[in-house]
Structure 1
Amino acid sequence: MNPVKVNSVITEYDPISDQKIKYQKIQISESVTVRNISFNSPHYYLVEEGLDIHDPQNFEVPFDNPDVNLRADYQIYREKVGFLQPREIKKVREHLRLSLREVSAILGISYSTLSEIENGLVLHSQIQDTLLRMLEHTYTLSTIVEQHKGLIINSHGLKAYQRIIDKLNAEKNWDS
């Protein structure tokens, strides 16, 4: 078993027993496989004080962030395969002053999926990464928007289309 590192001791309220319980917050490197790529990832768990910190049956995910380990795995996977990280996607979208709905209209990715990708809740696919990388190239993006004018107007309206075009035209010098 990999070495376990105790990071801190915390106290959490247990509503079942109506008591405060002390936990050791531990870190352990675990081997994971995401989409057929294996790697080690640092995982965090809580172990009730007095229980064996080396026994995985005693491990509980952090109550305030139960997806912390999955998100860490996704981040490492994205680094290994060269995918954009959620913070990079959000940064370029905000630089273009585009809303999630506007990017959804341009790229053809549903609003909810795009929101989950940007918030790191799901791992996007290679085709989605390729589409998201187009946000870094304003001229190409403008051309796509113009080519899909009818589709965007039909699904989001003429005003939405014009707002997108205006925002992209304001940024065309960005990728020169």
Structure 2
Amino acid sequence: MNNEKRRSNAMKGICPACEKETELEYVTRVEDIAVRDENIPVHVEYFKCLECETEFDDPHSTYDPLEVAYHEYRARHGMVQPEDIKTFRERFGLTQLELANLLGLGGATLSRYENGALQDEAHNTMLSLAMQPDNLLDLIEEKTSVLSDEKRNRIINLLKDITEEREKSFLSIFETRFGSYPASILSGYQPLNVAKLLNAMVFFCKGVEIPKTKLNKLIFYADFKHYKEYSISITGSCYAHLPHGPVPDKYDYYMATLFYDEKAIFIDERQFPNYTGEFLSALKEPDLSIFSTTEIKTLAYVKEFFEKYNAKEIRNFSHEERGYQVTRNGELISYEYAQFLRI
């Protein structure tokens, strides 16, 4: 019965083994294809000769199961896809050879990757980094002989425009999402200034390894100290009462931005008997040009004042602040209590 059903679904065609026209069965199924010791299930299709049982690919099909497996493997591991390379290269008007020379790869190697070959981990990292505008700009400015002067200048200008637009867009989105509150006593009568907040964090992390708990307190003291002296905060951040002391509202988003987006800080996780501690250090210089003279003076004062304090000591110190004592967990701390600040 099965043979009859198979023959009813068969078609005429040339079997390469029989070397003649026979009845062929079209077969589809899912098979595992091994890619670097990992099995990737892939849909496969082929013909089977009903006379000699030989299985063979459709010579007219453009479907490649191995290519599909490679694509899935890259997707699973967050790797650059061939179409990403081509789109990136064409966006900036780079030839394969030009991009290969910028990366220090052979032209044939890049061509293989763009046409579907599976790159190794080192080359994938290289490609992924080069596709970041800041990194591509560094490569072009470093390897001046790869491109003509005209093309190099055109791409440099384009990259700078992209970077500036990205930064403006990011700050605008961030401030809209988290700083849409009106300037009030809760923000030190200052609208949220993300650039100042992030650069103040980098300032406090520069040249030291600082516990995250301590960093949050330093930002708090800088804003409240400046409000105490000049009746306006530095960053416009609101501060929330949390168990370890006052912290910038939504502080986790700012930390993530500095680490993942800006790549301005390094976070070192350390294991202690009862907890995991996070220590931060700056990877970039803070942009101090955005601060006023009084703001820089206040930042420097706070950094020096708490220089010898560890995380526990500054936490306990902050717990004695009037604004912290009169609020409960999760509540915002009004800048009106800056007049009672202990520094």
Residue 55 of structure 2 corresponds to which residue in structure 1?
59
Deviation, 1:78, is 0.8
The number of equivalent residue pairs is 155
Secondary structure, in 3 states, of the residue corresponding to 1:102? Answer: helix
- Cα distance in 2 for partners of 1:17, 1:93 equals 47
Identity %: 20
Deviation, 1:86, is 0.8
Deviation, 1:162, is 2.7
Deviation, 1:131, is 1.6
Report matched runs for 1:96-135 at 5 Å: 96-120=92-116, 122-135=117-130
Instruction: Name the CA shift for 1:68/1:138 in 2 (closer, same or farther; >3 Å).
Output: same
More strand by percentage: 1
User: Runs of 5+ in structure 2 lacking a partner?
Assistant: 1-8, 167-343
Instruction: Name the CA shift for 1:19/1:39 in 2 (closer, same or farther; >3 Å).
Output: closer
RMSD between aligned alpha carbons? 3.0
Instruction: Name the CA shift for 1:16/1:73 in 2 (closer, same or farther; >3 Å).
Output: closer
| TM-score, with length taken from structure 1 | 0.71
Tell whether the 8 Å contact from 2:97 to 2:107 is kept in structure 1 after alignment: yes
- Cα distance in 1 for partners of 2:127, 2:23 equals 44
Deviation, 1:24, is 3.6
Aligned match for 1:171, one of 158, 172, 176 = 158
- Cα distance in 2 for partners of 1:167, 1:23 equals 57
Residue 4 of structure 1 corresponds to which residue in structure 2?
none
- Cα distance in 2 for partners of 1:75, 1:91 equals 16
- Cα distance in 1 for partners of 2:21, 2:149 equals 56
Aligned match for 2:70, one of 62, 67, 74 = 74
Deviation, 1:111, is 0.8
Deviation, 1:163, is 4.9
Tell whether the 8 Å contact from 1:13 to 1:21 is kept in structure 2 after alignment: yes
- Cα distance in 1 for partners of 2:107, 2:47 equals 35
Tell whether the 8 Å contact from 1:25 to 1:47 is kept in structure 2 after alignment: yes
Secondary structure, in 3 states, of the residue corresponding to 2:29? Answer: strand
Report which structure shows greater RCO (CA 8 Å, sep ≥6): 1
Secondary structure, in 3 states, of the residue corresponding to 2:56? Answer: coil
Deviations 1:116-150 (A, max 9, x none): 11111x1001111112123432221121232233x
Is residue 147 from structure 1 mapped to residue 142 from structure 2 by the alignment?
yes
Deviations 1:59-104 (A, max 9, x none): 2123245871211111111111111111111111111111111101
Is residue 39 from structure 1 mapped to residue 40 from structure 2 by the alignment?
yes
Instruction: Name the CA shift for 1:161/1:91 in 2 (closer, same or farther; >3 Å).
Output: same
Structure number with greater Rg is 2
| Letter in structure 2 aligned against 1:26 | V
- Cα distance in 2 for partners of 1:68, 1:44 equals 10
Deviation, 1:43, is 1.8
Is residue 92 from structure 1 mapped to residue 101 from structure 2 by the alignment?
no
Tell whether the 8 Å contact from 1:138 to 1:168 is kept in structure 2 after alignment: no
Deviation, 1:114, is 0.7
Secondary structure, in 3 states, of the residue corresponding to 1:141? Answer: helix
Instruction: Name the CA shift for 1:15/1:46 in 2 (closer, same or farther; >3 Å).
Output: closer
Deviating beyond 4 angstroms after TM superposition, the runs of 4 or more aligned structure 1 residues are: 8-22
Secondary structure, in 3 states, of the residue corresponding to 1:174? Answer: helix
| Letter in structure 2 aligned against 1:46 | F
Residue 5 of structure 1 corresponds to which residue in structure 2?
none
| Letter in structure 1 aligned against 2:156 | N
User: Runs of 5+ in structure 1 lacking a partner?
Assistant: 1-7
- Cα distance in 1 for partners of 2:12, 2:128 equals 43
